[in-house]
């Protein structure tokens, strides 16, 4: 598949997912928390297209509302990580010296752990909740943006236009904020797209392990965790939320891949894997 095709396909998939998340109230056929205990584990049928879970809740409705949880976690995590990471990385790369040294040591320590392991440890001590998942993912995720921003700024600060600005008497602060930071937009956009895919997988992983979203929140990972005990008798509990995660991540990866080729940037991709 060509990059331009991936870009369009990714953009369409992501746009559809955003629409589903925004219109969940209109699209969902049932209340995602409404239980019909007498119909628990019912397979897909005419009334409940994707079947019902262990409490008789409609799986389609829960998958639809799960879009909201996944996208919200992805967006908030990436925005906070991007803001913190870019600030620290840009300042470190621009100022250099001990500031840079300190920032990079902290990044190194955090990267000494596999990302998911650190996320498990952090949510483990903070306590299981969606909010703590976001906190844990931000505590790890900023490092990727910081490394990217630092590298770019260090490369850019030697360029002639910076020297020219300095010669014209532009204050250092203004050089960083007005002349350099805007140039980070494209690589950061690509990184953010991949980062969102990674954050969504990480949230689902933690919720699958019981460390994330708590009942009755309709999170795809938590739904997979619920389905684990019934995989022998009711595989539909597992199939559909998993498909939703796959389509979402594939869409974001397509989008990131297409953007990377179109905008011609190279970035590290895996943050929370």
Indicate the residue among 30 and 230 with the shorter CB distance to other proteins: 230
Indicate the residue among 122 and 176 with the shorter CB distance to other proteins: 122
Indicate the residue among 5 and 37 with the shorter CB distance to other proteins: 5
CA distance 247 to 235: 19
User: Residues 103, 104, 138, 197: which binds other proteins (CB under 8 A)?
Assistant: 197
Indicate the residue among 168 and 232 with the shorter CB distance to other proteins: 232
Residue 175 Cβ vs other proteins, minimum distance, rounded to whole Å: 31
User: Residues 24, 27, 126, 265: which binds other proteins (CB under 8 A)?
Assistant: 126
User: Which of 44-52, 89-97, 148-156, 220-228 is the region at the interface with other proteins (rule: CB under 8 A)?
Assistant: 220-228
Contacts for 34 with CB less than 8 Å, ≥ 6 apart: 57, 58
Site for other proteins in 230-249 (CB under 8 A): 231-232, 235, 238-239, 241-243, 245-246, 249
Residue 114 Cβ vs other proteins, minimum distance, rounded to whole Å: 3
CA distance 253 to 26: 28
Q: Can you list the alpha helix ranges (DSSP code H) found in 96-129?
A: 97-111, 115-126
Indicate the residue among 80 and 250 with the shorter CB distance to other proteins: 250
> How many CB atoms lie under 10 A from the CB of residue 103?
20
Contacts for 249 with CB less than 8 Å, ≥ 6 apart: 197, 200, 201
What are the CA-CA distances from residue 209 to residues 60, 204, 224, 225, 270 (Å)?
22, 9, 9, 7, 21
Closest CA to 54 of 67, 42, 63: 42
| Site map 93..122 versus other proteins, x via CB under 8 A | ---------------xxx-xxxxxx--xxx
Indicate the residue among 56 and 124 with the shorter CB distance to other proteins: 124
Q: Is 215 in the site for other proteins (CB under 8 A)?
A: no
Kindly state the greatest CA–CA separation across the chain.
78
Q: Can you list the alpha helix ranges (DSSP code H) found in the chain?
A: 3-22, 24-27, 59-95, 97-111, 115-126, 130-156, 160-167, 172-174, 185-208, 220-228, 236-263
Indicate the residue among 29 and 114 with the shorter CB distance to other proteins: 114
CA distance 193 to 156: 23
Q: How many residues bind other proteins (CB under 8 A)?
A: 46
Residue in this structure with the two tokens 């019981």, named with its chain if needed: 210
> Contact, 135 vs 126, CB < 8 A?
yes
Q: Please give the residue ranges that form the binding site for other proteins (CB under 8 A).
A: 1, 108-110, 112-117, 120-122, 124-127, 197, 201, 204-205, 208-211, 221, 224, 227-228, 231-232, 235, 238-239, 241-243, 245-246, 249-250, 253-254, 257, 270, 273
């Amino acid at each position: 598949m060509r990059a331009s095709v991936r870009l369009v396909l990714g953009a369409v998939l992501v746009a559809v997912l955003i629409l589903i998340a925004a219109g969940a109230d209109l699209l969902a056929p049932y209340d995602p928390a409404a239980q019909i205990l007498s119909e628990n584990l019912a397979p897909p049928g005419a009334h409940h297209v994707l079947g019902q879970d262990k409490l008789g809740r409609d799986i389609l409705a829960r998958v639809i509302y799960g879009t909201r949880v996944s996208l919200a976690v992805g967006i908030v995590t990436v925005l906070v990580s991007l803001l913190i990471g870019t600030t620290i990385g840009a300042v470190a790369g621009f100022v250099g010296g001990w500031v840079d040294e300190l920032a990079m040591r902290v990044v190194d320590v955090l990267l000494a752990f596999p990302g998911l392991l650190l996320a498990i440890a952090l949510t483990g001590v903070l306590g299981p909740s969606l909010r703590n998942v976001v906190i844990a993912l931000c505590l790890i995720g900023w490092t990727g943006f910081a490394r990217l921003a630092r590298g770019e700024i260090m490369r850019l600060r030697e360029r002639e236009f910076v020297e020219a600005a300095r010669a014209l008497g532009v204050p250092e602060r203004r050089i960083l904020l007005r002349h350099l930071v805007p140039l980070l937009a494209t690589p950061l956009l690509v990184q953010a797209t991949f980062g969102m895919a990674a954050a969504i997988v990480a949230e689902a992983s933690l919720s699958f392990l019981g460390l994330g979203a708590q009942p009755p929140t309709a999170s795809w990972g938590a739904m997979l965790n619920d389905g684990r005990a019934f995989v022998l008798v009711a595989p539909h509990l597992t199939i559909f939320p998993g498909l939703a995660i796959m389509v979402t991540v594939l869409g974001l990866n397509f989008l990131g891949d297409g953007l990377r080729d179109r905008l011609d940037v190279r970035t590290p991709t895996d943050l929370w894997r």
